[in-house]
Amino acid sequence: MEIILKKDVAKLGNADDIVTVKSGYALNYLIPQGYAILATESAKKVLAENIRQRAHKEAKFRADAEALAAKLAETLVKVSAKVSETGKIYGSVTTAQLADALVAAGLEVDKKDIEILSDSVKETGTYEASVKCYKDIKGTFKFEVVAE
């Protein structure tokens, strides 16, 4: 029996795959649990249209993410922090501070997507951070820690 998977099923396939399984497995488990639907001709046409539309949206998201990564590469943001006489900062620079600095620079980035590439930022100077723009697209930017 041919079915279309609605969700990922271990050792069977991923969502939107058309697979052949025994009828008892499909009718007694996969379909009632909401993991699959019957692969009728109309369901296959709907699936093909959904995949086509999703590919179009995916291409747009990828283009936007690549544009954001290019903008990030050109960006240098400044983060101010309280500094001692020796140049060490009190506390540390956080991803929330970097997100606020990027928003001030005109780039909308979520703090959860930012990763500081150095082990720790404890002194004034220039450092790098990366931003996850989309699934496998990352952009890096430089930030400078200055005294308040």
CATH number assigned to the domain comprising residue 106: 3.10.430.100
* pLDDT for the residue numbered 135: 81
Q: Which residues of 7-31 are buried (b: 16+ CB within 10 A; e: fewer)?
A: eebeeebeeeeebebeeeebeeebb
Same domain, 72 and 57: no
Non-local CB neighbours of 126 within 8 Å, separated by 6+ positions? 76, 142, 143, 144, 145
Same domain, 46 and 18: yes
* pLDDT for the residue numbered 92: 86
Same domain, 72 and 60: no
Q: Which two tokens stand for residue 52?
A: 């086509």
Q: How many domains does the chain have?
A: 2
Cα–Cα distance for residue pair 15/102, rounded to 1 Å: 36
* pLDDT for the residue numbered 127: 94
Non-local CB neighbours of 44 within 8 Å, separated by 6+ positions? 4, 18
Same domain, 52 and 75: no
Show the domain range for 58: 2-65
* pLDDT for the residue numbered 41: 96
Same domain, 100 and 39: no
* pLDDT for the residue numbered 68: 93
Q: What is the mean pLDDT, run by run of 10 residues, along the chain of 148 residues?
A: 94 93 96 96 95 91 93 93 88 91 93 89 91 90 92
